[in-house]
Structure 1
Amino acid sequence: MTKESTVAGQTIVITGASSGIGRGAATRLAGLGANVVVAARRGDVLDDLVSEITAAGGSAVAVPMDVSDPEDVARLAETAIRRFSRIDVWVNNVGIGALGMFWDIPIEAHARVVDVNLKGLIYGAHTALRHFLSEGQGVLVNVGSIDSEIPLAYQASYAASKAAVLSLGRTLNEELRLSGVGDAIAVGTIMPWAVDTPWWDHAANYSGRTARMAAMDDPSIVIDAIVAACTNPKEEQPVGPKARTADISHHLFPDHTERLSAKTADAESKKGAPLPATDGSIHQPTPGGTTVDGGIRERMKREA
């Protein structure tokens, strides 16, 4: 798990790879010589991604699946092992959101967020760690959020699920230490600030306005963090200056930081353009939004 380690030749599973940071990480890791196993619900989009990677000389295989289905997760692992003999790194990257006041969001949307962001991540972690324990080594990378540390208004169930992701990672690392394999198997949690990806357009939205957040980060810094975590995982890894500052602030001044976070979310939401209530793509995938960058920053400029 050293910084000098390389991902070349490693087999890396990446969920949520059809767009956003998952797609960007898959492309980057394949370019560094890793065998990437890309997973998401949109099989046609994954096929395009695999074609893009192989045309550039990389190695990739696509597995259409839904992380909230444990049988799909098991099939993902089986495909990776059958194709490349082993799994070295598993990146739990899928995350969906439901935006709006908690009571305005249908309970089915909250349940779906938990099914994907928490239960789906647990299925992936369980599958990956059982394989790593049988092999004696491995890295599990869970993509959380700065919301893992700081609750965020208008994203209650998302923030709750991401807080659980961080707690799970901490607990798993302690259990690995107790089992005597903490030096060979590690769990890292990536904690980005708001990132400009298609996530915002894919989210269910009951706020009445288009989704937005102040000072969004470029996806590239999160992709860099995921790539680094594949060989040098950190239990808690806030990504970028804004996330690191928010993390420190919450440890020192929790109530003040939470109120400031809520005021920021509220002020940003009120700047959005009117939007009818939508389930986005949380229940069924939609064709739009297959890029790494979401174009949200450009939209926010137009709204301003």
Structure 2
Amino acid sequence: MRVRDAVVVVTGASSGIGRATAEAFARKGCAVVLAARGEEALKAAARECERHRGAQTLVVPTDVTDVAAVDALARRAVERFGRIDVWVNAAAVSVFGPFEEVPLEDFRKVIDVNVMGYVHGARAALRTMRKQGSGTLVDVSSVAGLVSQPYTHAYVMSKHAVRALGASLRQELRIAGEAGRIHVCTVLPASIDTPLFQHAANYTGRKVVAMPPVYSAERVAHAIVDVVRVPRREVVVGPMGRAIALQSRTAPGWMERAAARQVDRAHLTEDPAPATHGNLHVPAPGTGSVGGGWGGRRRTAVRRLALAATVVGVGVAVGTCRRAASR
């Protein structure tokens, strides 16, 4: 579809991928509706968007776990701009901890935001798009929706669920004869430089960091704009993400073991950290940001080394599997 002049709703627009996505669409001359819980951060994000070609913005503080609030978000977008061309579900939270030690209220909150929040957004978006006869829904999943990892059970479950939701919706649209006019696309980023890791609830006793290699949120935003322009079922963002996708198909058992080791060694440091609910139940204060401070030259170097090691690992694993199959 033609991106310029589109009306775009973005949830999770106060920080990270959602904020980068709102700015990316603003640069394309789109009207952007920004939704998240934190009003101060939303207004700051809107000001950034307005600097790009004087983009029109609408700030709607929204808790995506509240279906009435999400319906009101869609209604206000249509009242202001007349339609919704693109809806991006990007709101997400996370919790780290051993399975039996994560409070159930925190576990449920992650599922409520990351799954039911997307369900609420998809229902509101598709209801509007079906009336219009066109539109694109983009759900932000993760490579964690391809390969699971320890200590983030609720987050991993949610990202698998997002992929399943997208597939089911595409099937229904095809049966209804609407697949050519209404598109559902799923974006799966690798490890991204956002504040998610600082904001996450944490019960591991260890400090959480972005697991290298780390890619910019702007890279994901660019992929989202591209998938709206030329719709595709699923798009993996980042060379490491694509390597993981390949591993998950060719050597799933090996990948599962490798992911466990990598998360324990690189996602959690030996630095102590107090138990915290993070931003699960109360939005993070302040004006928010796109990045989480995980970039820089050191991370770039680590990214290249990690990618090289992964590519070698893929070759070794695939070769081993082939030799075993030929016996």
Give the TM-score taking structure 2 as reference length. 0.87
Partner of 1:38: 34
**Range with bigger deviation, 267-276 or 257-266:** 267-276
1:228-254 superposed Cα distances (whole Å, 9 cap, x missing partner): 122223211111111011001101111
Partner of 2:46: 50
2:259 aligned with 1:280:
no
Higher Rg: 2
1:104-158 superposed Cα distances (whole Å, 9 cap, x missing partner): 1111110000000001100100111111111111100000000111111111110
Partner of 2:224: 226
Between the aligned partners of 1:149 and 1:255, the Cα distance in structure 2 is 13
2:246 aligned with 1:248:
yes
Q: Secondary structure at the match of 2:48?
A: helix
User: Structure 2 matches for 1:1-304, cutoff 5 A?
Assistant: 5-56=1-52, 57-212=54-209, 213-288=211-286, 290-297=288-295
Q: Runs of 5+ in structure 1 lacking a partner?
A: none
Shift of 1:270: 4.6
Shift of 1:296: 2.9
Shift of 1:272: 4.3
The share of aligned pairs that are identical, in percent, is 39
User: Residues 145 and 9 (structure 1 numbering): CA distance in 2 closer, same or farther, change over 3 Å?
Assistant: same
Between the aligned partners of 2:163 and 2:220, the Cα distance in structure 1 is 16
Q: Secondary structure at the match of 1:224?
A: helix
**Range with bigger deviation, 186-195 or 45-54:** 45-54
1:234-284 superposed Cα distances (whole Å, 9 cap, x missing partner): 211111111011001101111111111111001124524211010110110
Contact residue 136 and residue 184 of structure 1 kept, 8 A: yes
Between the aligned partners of 2:45 and 2:295, the Cα distance in structure 1 is 24
**Range with bigger deviation, 282-291 or 243-252:** 282-291
The 4+ residue runs of structure 1 with deviation greater than 4 A are: none
Shift of 1:67: 0.3
Between the aligned partners of 1:26 and 1:225, the Cα distance in structure 2 is 13
Between the aligned partners of 2:268 and 2:174, the Cα distance in structure 1 is 47
Shift of 1:195: 0.6
CA RMSD of aligned residues (A): 1.6
Q: Partner amino acid for 1:83?
A: R
Shift of 1:288: 4.8
Q: Partner amino acid for 2:247?
A: S
Between the aligned partners of 2:143 and 2:135, the Cα distance in structure 1 is 25
Q: Runs of 5+ in structure 2 lacking a partner?
A: 303-327
User: Residues 23 and 282 (structure 1 numbering): CA distance in 2 closer, same or farther, change over 3 Å?
Assistant: same
